[in-house]
Chains A and B, each alone.
Chain A
Amino acid sequence: MAGIQLSNVRKQFGTVEVIRGVDIDVEDGEFVVFVGPSGCGKSTLLRLIAGLEDISSGELRIGGRVVNDLQPKERGVAMVFQSYAIFPHMTVRENIAFGLTIRKESKSVVEQKVAEAARMLQMENLLDRRPSQLSGGQRQRVAIGRAVVRDPSVFLFDEPLSNLDAALRMSTRQEIATLHSQLKTTMIYVTHDQVEAMTLADKIVVLRDGEVMQAGAPMDLYHSPANLFVAGFLGAPSMNFIAVSVENADAKEVRVSGPAISGVAVKTGERSYTTGQNATLGIRPQQLRPMSDGTGPLNGTVILTERLGSETIVDVRLNSNDSIVAALPEDTILHPGDAVSFDFDPAHAHLFDETL
């Protein structure tokens, strides 16, 4: 059991800086998810924590101890790899026991711990099989089992579900959530899938180009994203952005209008705006309500509809030539070419001082 503190951690490969001064504070027992697009440095960050890469500068503490120069084995971490990384020449039992036999634990301890892990992961009947005889989901459970038996103070997961099919991904995701609630160990989980991030995390860290964009509880990030990147990354379908300029601003309200929309007043929030400034209005697709009488502020024609049953995703080209996406509840029948009009609650709109 241990918390993890990264302060101003940097990592360079040659002259390329891939981690640019990251500060993250992971509390003891927390489930933290690193999320970001590919190449954002999230896996590198995890490997820095595991000790598989050297930290170029900055400080990494696990359980209060500076571990910058410690070997992976001295850090008390266990890691689950995307490719499972189980040993093909050993049975499941030997694979799970590997970390314990390396530490020369007594036979009875090994057997007891392996049995316990197997029971927790429901794979007692698989123990004498070879990895080649297992399905992808079972292999991933072996990899998790191997991490569990070692009683690490920190679990590190590197995109553990990426190689699984959709159904298996969901059930394994739930197993990991259950595992965390049973073990209450600090876990760091890397993924590019925002659904995994939203469902599993106590805290999400959104990364981009080796920098932390925002860190916080999933719903905090969803409801008040700090910038356009976080706003666009979390939520599916992603948030609509509309270019606007500020008409007038005061402490409570900002009135914006643009080619696509006119005269919308949104809450000022923590940022300050000046009249004439260019800004971006963000509206989640779920917030758009169709107006059958055509009186909404956003008007356009349907390009494409995707009917998912529980909701309908509509691609709309606005009269100003901007594209937006609306997620309408239940099954709504719209045809390409239909004229549509949308309204939204300004209280749920987000205003960003960045431009697209």
Chain B
Amino acid sequence: MQSIAGSKSSLTWAVHISVVVMVVLWLIPTVGLFVSSFRTADQISTSGWWASLFPAEQNVVARAADPDENRVADGRMFIVSGNLFDGEDKTISVWGTSSRAIDIYVAGDTADLGDGETITVQANGDYEWRGNDEQIAGRGQRVFATVTAPPEFTLANYDKMLFDEVNVDGMAKAFFNTLTVTIPATIIPIVIAAFAAYALAWMDFPGRALLIACVVGLLVVPLQLALIPLLKLHLGIGIGKGYLGIWLAHTGFGLPLAIYLLRNYMVGLPRDIIENAKVDSATDFQIFVKIILPLSFPALASFAIFQFLWTWNDLLVAKVFLIDATGQTTVMTNQITDLLGTRGGNWEILATAAFISIAVPLAVFFAMQRYLVRGILAGSVK
């Protein structure tokens, strides 16, 4: 018992290390996707995302400029000079002029190509190719170099996936479709559940306890069970596949938890406050709007976050109730699974698509996480 008030437990370091290890493990896939989404297809195929964060050594083949156009006379000799990398920030360590010996010269050396023809290559890629009229002709001299290149990232993937209108794999349309699904599918159940929760918490009517029990019981029902009958119903009454159908489906699937959470929060509000408002001649509706709703904000916000996240990430319900053969109403999760099939090797596209789809939930989570924590704990301790 001494450790409670006095000295720290000697295992504190073990706790800290485990926490760090778990956080790192948890974050690695996301960070990998994030980094990959800023790399080109070539970079992804040659090295892992973890290597891209540091300067990387690679072998490149470069060619001197076309001698017929660029040679400059120097007495009887001709000279072609320039930069192998067009000024890109790369550093040459060793180089060669034959594919069989790519590392026989170090930066700054002059290679003798025979009959007085020479080429000098500096570390930054500057070269000077010198020879007679016959030698400095035809194609440019090849140089095989081992270079160290700094990390290089590009926004081209995002540009292509979001703003390229001719790209059939683009995410822009799917992004707005997902928003069209998510926002009403979050707001509608919250509004309905708030009213229901108030009635179940604070209005007396026969059968109230039974109704609450039913709502709690509905939490147990898996939504997969309802997919086919519900779709048949939608088709039967003429809603068909479309936004209205998916809004209704998400509303129905979200309501039991919403009502349950909100009722439990509202029932914890002090009875005196509500009775006081009643004595002050407020109607039930006024009590609901002016007192219960503002006081329930943390619970409303936390449920809103939940509902938003899982309608945003939903694939199954969208596939059943929304996406039809035209493909006009595809959502991002569906778009990504399609991409996995058609562009499975293009990791730069997949990573970018994945990051586009988690950007909004991340932003929502960080903006409202204090309500999330408060909302979950609300009512558990007075």
Contacts and interface: CB of A to CB of B under 8 A. Distances in A.
A52 interface: yes
Contact of B272 (A71, A83, A89, A102): A83
Contacts of B317: none
A83 B270 CA distance: 9
Contacts of A78: 279-280
A102 B276 contact: no
B278 A85 contact: no
A50 B279 contact: yes
A82 B276 CA distance: 11
A87 B281 contact: no
A87 B291 contact: yes
A74 B290 CA distance: 20
Nearest to A81: B272
Contact of B281 (A52, A81, A85, A102): A102
A150 interface: yes
A48 interface: no
Chain A, interface size category, equals 20 to 34
A51 B283 CA distance: 14
B294 interface: yes
B282 A85 contact: no
A150 B280 contact: yes
Contacts of B294: 89
B4 to A, nearest CB: 31
A346 B275 CA distance: 51
Interface in A27-53: 50-52
Contacts of A87: 273, 277, 291, 295
Contacts of A72: 275, 278-279, 281
A86 B278 CA distance: 13
B286 A85 contact: no
Interface string B257-292: 000000000000010110111111111001000110
B275 A85 contact: yes
Contacts of A81: 272, 275-276
Nearest to B278: A72
Contact of B279 (A73, A84, A86, A88): A73
A89 B295 CA distance: 7
Nearest to A88: B295
B275 A99 contact: no
B280 A99 contact: yes
Contacts of A89: 291, 294-295
Nearest to B281: A73
A337 B294 CA distance: 64
A120 B313 CA distance: 58
A79 interface: yes
A271 interface: no
Contacts of B290: 98, 102
Nearest to B269: A88
A154 B102 CA distance: 103
Contact of B282 (A77, A79, A102, A146): A102
A78 B270 CA distance: 18
Contacts of A52: 275, 278-279
Nearest to A74: B281
A169 B127 CA distance: 95
A89 B289 CA distance: 13
Contacts of A103: 281
Contacts of A85: 270, 272-273, 275-276
Contact of A73 (B270, B272, B282): B282
B22 to A, nearest CB: 37
Contacts of B278: 52, 71-73
Nearest to B282: A102
A79 B286 contact: no
Contacts of B291: 87, 89
Contacts of B272: 81-85
Interface string A302-346: 000000000000000000000000000000000000000000000
Given A50-B279, A87-B295, A102-B277, 15 more contacts: A50-B275, A52-B279, A72-B275, A73-B279, A73-B280, A79-B275, A85-B270, A86-B273, A86-B276, A87-B291, A89-B294, A98-B277, A98-B280, A102-B281, A156-B279
9 contacts: A72-B281, A83-B272, A85-B276, A87-B277, A88-B295, A89-B295, A98-B277, A98-B282, A102-B280
Interface of A: 50-52, 71-74, 77-79, 81-89, 98-99, 102-103, 146, 150, 156
Top 8 nearest A-B pairs (CB, nearest first) are A73-B281, A85-B272, A99-B280, A85-B276, A81-B272, A89-B294, A79-B279, A72-B279
